Amino acid sequence: MDFLVALGGLGLLLLAGLVLRSRVRLLRSLMLPVSVIGGFVGLALGPYMLDVIPADTVAVWSGLPGILINFVFAALFLGVTIPSPGKLVSLGGPLIRFAAIVALGQLAVGMLLTWLVLGPLFSTPELFASLLEVGFIGGHGTAAAMTPVFEGLGFEAGGALGQMSATVGIVVGVVSGLALVHWGVRHGHANQLDPSRDVADMGDMTTLVPSDERTTAATHTTRSGAIDTFTLHVSVTMVAVLIGWLLMTGIRSLHSSMSGFPLFPLAMIGGIAIQLGASRAGAATYFDRATFERIMGLSLDVLIVAAIASLRLDLFLQNVVPFTLLMLAGIAWTLMAFLVLAPRMIQQDWFEQSITFYGMATAVTAIGLMLLRVVDPENRTTGAQAFAAQALVISPMVGGGFVTVTVPILIVNFGLPVVLTGVVGVGLVLFLWPKPGTRPPTRVSR
C-alpha cells in the first residue's frame, strides 16, 4: 500500500507541475519540463523543508530512479536502424570528437579542481571530481544509477550531489542555451533564423497540444487481441534489462573491484543486441520506435520527479561551497568549449550542431533537441543527423556509459593524478588527431 500511495503522490506532483507550467509564463519561457517543476514542488513539501510529505513516501521515491534508468538505457537503441561505423563518421564525425572532448573536459576540470583546490581546502573526497560529468552529461537518471556505485566506493553523498548537479545542469542548460541562441542570431551564426524575430517566439513554449495540431504518438504492430503493442515493447525492453543483468553478473565476478559495476550501461548493450538480432531475423519491422520512446518518456518523467523530490538536502548543504565551485568550473568549461572549440572543430553548421550537444552536455537530450528546434525549425541543417550519429557513439561511453562507470573505480584504485593524466592525454589525442578543422568564415551580422 505504501508503494501505491507513493506512486499516487508522484502522479499528483506531475499534475501540479503541469498546472504550474500552464499557468505561469515564466516557467514556460524557461522551458522547464513538467517533471522538474513537479520535483521541486515535492522537494518543497518534503521532510527537509515544509515536512508535509511523510519520510516513508520519500524513501519509496528515492528507490525508483535507480530502477527506471535501466529501462531508459535498454530502450535507447531499440527500434533504431544502427548504421555502420563509416556512416556514423560521415554523419557526425566532427561532432563526435567535439562531444568526447567536452565530456573528457568535464571530467578533467572536476579532477583538477578537486585535486588542487577542493581537497586541500575542504577535505572533499576524490570521487567528488566525477560529479560534474555524472550530473551534466549524465543527468538525473545517471546520478540515480551511480548512487550505489558511489556508496560502494565509500562516497555516501555522491548520489544526492549527483542529483543536485543534474538539477543545476537543467536550469543552466535552458537559461544559458537560450542566451546562446540570442547571441548566435545576433551575430549571424544561426543562419536559419531572422535576427529581427524574438527568440522567445521561435520555440514552442506551450504545454498542451491543440486539437488541430495533435499527431499519433505510436503505431500498432500487433493485434490487440493477441498482445497489446505496448506490452510487446515493454517485454522486449525487460528482456534487454535481463541481458544486461546477466552481463553485470559476469563482470562483477571477474574481480572484487568490479563488484559495484551498475546495470544500466549493460542494459543498453542488451537493447543493441536485441535490435541487431531482430534486424537479422527480419523481426525489427515489428519494433515501433515511437512506442519505445513512450517507454523512455514515461520512465524519465517519473525518474526525474522522484529524484528531485527525494533529494537529500542535508548532504547537499554539508558540501554547498565546494559543490558551488565545481558547478561554476563546469559551466565555464562547457561554455568555453562551445564558444571557442566548436567553431574550430565543426566546419558545417557548427552552431546548430554544437548548440544541440550543449543542451545535452549541461541538461538532458530533450533540452538539446529543444534548442535545435529553436535554431533550425525546418530541419534544414545537419544538426539533427549529426546529433543522432553522435549519440550512437558517445552515449555508450559517457553520460552514463562505460567511462562514467569506470572513472570512479579508477580514481579509487589509482588516485586523481594518474587518472587525470590519462583523461587529459586522451582528450589531447582526440583534439590533435585527426587535425582539428579550421574555423569557418565568419558570417557578416545581419
DSSP, res 116: I
Task: Tell me the C-alpha distance between 73 and 331, whole Å.
Answer: 26
Q: Taking residues 337-355, report their average pLDDT.
A: 92
The answer to whether 73 touches 265, Cβ cutoff 8 Å, is yes
How many distinct helices (H) and strands (E) make up the chain?
Answer: 20, 0
Residue 266 falls within a domain, yes or no? yes
In the predicted structure, residue 287 carries a pLDDT above the cut 70: yes
| 129-144: pLDDT as tens digits | 999 999 999 888 788 8
Residue 217 falls within a domain, yes or no? no
**Lookup result for grid cell 551580422:** 445
Residue 215 falls within a domain, yes or no? no
Residue 111 falls within a domain, yes or no? yes
Task: Tell me the C-alpha distance between 349 and 440, whole Å.
Answer: 9
pTM over the 0.75 mark: yes
| Residues whose CB falls within 8 Å of the CB of residue 154, separated by 6 or more in sequence, listed in order | 125, 127, 412
Residue 219 falls within a domain, yes or no? no
Q: Supply the range of the domain harboring residue 242.
A: 2-203+225-432
| 216-235: pLDDT as tens digits | 888 999 998 999 999 999 99
Number of separate domains in the chain: 1
Q: Taking residues 99-123, report their average pLDDT.
A: 96
Residue 444 falls within a domain, yes or no? no
| pLDDT value of residue 438 | 43
Find, among 234, 220, 95, 110, the residue nearest to 162 by Cα: 110
Which amino acid would we find at residue 133?
Answer: E
Residue 440 falls within a domain, yes or no? no
DSSP, res 210: P
Residue 230 CB neighbour total at 10 angstroms: 16
In what helix (H) or strand (E) does residue 184 lie, and over which residues does it extend?
helix 158-186
Measured CA to CA in angstroms, residue 58 lies from 5, 16, 36, 237, 309 at distances of 11, 17, 16, 27, 7
Q: Is 422 exposed, middle or buried (0-12, 13-18, 19+ CB in 10 A)?
A: middle
Residue 85 falls within a domain, yes or no? yes
